[in-house]
C-alpha cells in the first residue's frame, strides 16, 4: 500500500516514521510538508494526489497556533483549515483512496460538557470561544468525512487524540503546549541557575499521550480498525496526571527539582478535560501505553540532544 501522510514532518509524522518499521506488514510511505504543496490550494492538492496516487491517507496537516493566534486570527484559522480539509477529502474521493484517517483534537469538544467526554458528544454545544475558528473547522472535517461515507461508501474516519507530547515537538515558549514549554523553561532555568517557575498551582489534570503511542494507534486505525466510528485515542482516566506531577518529573530528569516553584498568581485554566477511551479499548484491548515517566525521559533527552536544531 502507498500511504500519503499530510503534515508528515511534524511531531506525529516524525513519530510515524519512527514506529512504522515495528509492524510486520510493509508499506510505502510518503511524508509531505508544506514545501511539497499548499493544501489550501485545490489545484496544488490535486496535482499532488495525481502525482503520488496514494492508496491510503493519514491526514495530519492543519493550520495551528497557540492561544493568541486562535483568539486573534479566527477567520484565518477557520478558512485555512476548512480549505485544507476540503481539498484533502475531495482529492481522496476523486482519486479513489481506499481509506483516510484524519486527526482531530479534544479541544474542539463543547466548552460546557459532562465528563468523561466521549465520541458522541462532539457536536453537543459550542466550543470555547477562544479557539472556535479552529474547532468548527475540525468539527466539519468529521461531518464531511461522515457524509462521504454515507453518500459514496468511502472509508474516511477521524481520530481524536488527547494532549500529545514527544520528540520533534514545538518548544517555543510563546505558543508551545504545556509539556514542551515546561521542558524548555526548566532547561533554561538550569542553564541560568534561576528558579524553574511553573505557572499556576499545578493542580489541573490532563491525559497525555506519547507521540509514538499515537503513531502506533493511527497506523492501527488505518490498517486494522474495520469500523467507521470516530475514535478518541487516549490513555485511560486513571492515567490522568496533574501539571505538578509532570513538572516534577521534568525537574527530576534535569536534576533541578530543588529550584522548582509555582506562580499561583497565574491562572490554572480549565481544571480537567477528561476523555473516555472505552471505545478504543473495546476495539484494541491489548494496547500498552508508554508510561509518562518513560515518555518524558525520552522527550527530554531528545530535546537536550537536539537543542540547537529543534523548533523553539
Which residues does the annotation mark as catalytic? 134
Of 131, 94, 97, 68, nearest to 6 by C-alpha is 97
**What are the percentages of helix, strand and coil residues in the chain, rounded to 5?**
45, 15, 40
Residues 6+ positions from 105 with CB-CB distance below 8 Å: 138, 160, 161
Nearest to 63 by CA among 74, 79, 75, 77: 77
Rounded Cα distance between 76 and 21, Å, is: 37
Cβ atoms of residues 153 and 97 within 8 Å = no
Fill in the DSSP letter of residue 8. T
How is residue 202 annotated by DSSP? Answer: S
Whether residue 116 has a cis bond before it, omega within 30° of 0? yes
Q: Which residues of 112-142 are buried (b: 16+ CB within 10 A; e: fewer)?
A: eeeebbbbebbeeeebeebbbbbbbbbbbbb
Which residue is associated with the grid cell 465520541? 119
CA 257 to chain centre: 28
Cα–Cα distance for residue pair 103/100, rounded to 1 Å: 10
Amino acid at each position: 500500500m502507498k500511504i500519503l501522510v499530510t503534515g508528515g514532518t511534524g511531531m506525529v509524522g516524525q513519530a510515524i516514521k519512527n514506529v512504522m518499521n515495528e509492524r510486520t506488514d510493509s508499506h510505502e510511505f510518503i511524508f509531505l510538508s508544506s514545501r511539497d504543496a499548499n493544501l489550501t490550494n485545490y489545484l496544488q492538492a490535486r496535482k499532488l494526489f495525481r502525482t503520488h496516487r496514494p492508496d491510503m491517507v493519514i491526514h495530519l496537516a492543519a493550520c495551528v497556533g497557540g492561544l493568541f493566534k486562535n483568539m486573534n486570527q479566527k477567520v484565518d484559522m477557520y478558512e485555512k483549515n476548512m480549505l485544507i480539509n476540503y481539498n484533502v477529502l475531495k482529492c481522496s474521493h476523486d482519486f479513489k483512496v481506499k481509506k483516510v484517517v484524519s486527526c482531530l483534537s479534544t479541544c474542539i469538544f463543547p466548552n460546557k460538557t459532562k465528563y468523561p467526554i466521549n465520541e458522541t458528544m462532539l457536536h453537543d454545544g459550542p466550543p470555547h470561544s477562544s479557539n472556535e475558528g479552529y474547532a468548527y473547522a475540525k468539527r466539519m472535517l468529521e461531518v464531511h468525512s461522515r457524509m462521504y461515507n454515507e453518500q459514496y461508501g468511502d472509508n474516511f474516519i477521524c481520530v481524536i487524540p488527547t494532549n500529545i507530547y514527544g520528540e520533534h515537538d514545538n518548544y517555543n515558549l510563546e505558543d508551545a503546549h504545556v509539556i514542551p514549554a515546561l521542558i524548555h523553561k526548566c532547561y533554561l532555568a538550569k542553564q541560568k541557575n534561576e528558579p524553574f517557575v511553573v505557572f499556576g498551582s499545578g493542580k489541573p489534570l490532563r491525559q497525555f499521550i506519547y507521540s509514538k503511542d499515537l503513531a502506533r494507534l493511527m497506523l492501527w486505525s488505518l490498517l486494522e480498525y474495520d469500523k467507521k466510528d470516530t475514535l478518541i485515542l487516549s490513555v485511560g482516566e486513571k492515567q490522568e496526571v496533574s501539571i505538578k506531577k509532570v513538572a516534577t518529573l521534568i525537574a527530576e530528569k534535569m536534576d533541578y527539582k530543588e529550584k522548582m516553584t509555582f506562580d499561583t498568581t497565574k491562572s490554572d485554566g480549565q481544571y480537567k478535560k477528561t476523555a473516555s477511551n472505552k471505545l478504543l479499548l473495546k476495539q484494541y484491548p491489548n494496547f500498552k501505553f508508554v508510561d509518562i515517566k518513560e515518555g518524558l525521559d525520552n522527550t527530554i533527552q531528545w530535546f537536550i540532544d537536539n537543542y540547537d536544531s529543534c523548533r523553539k
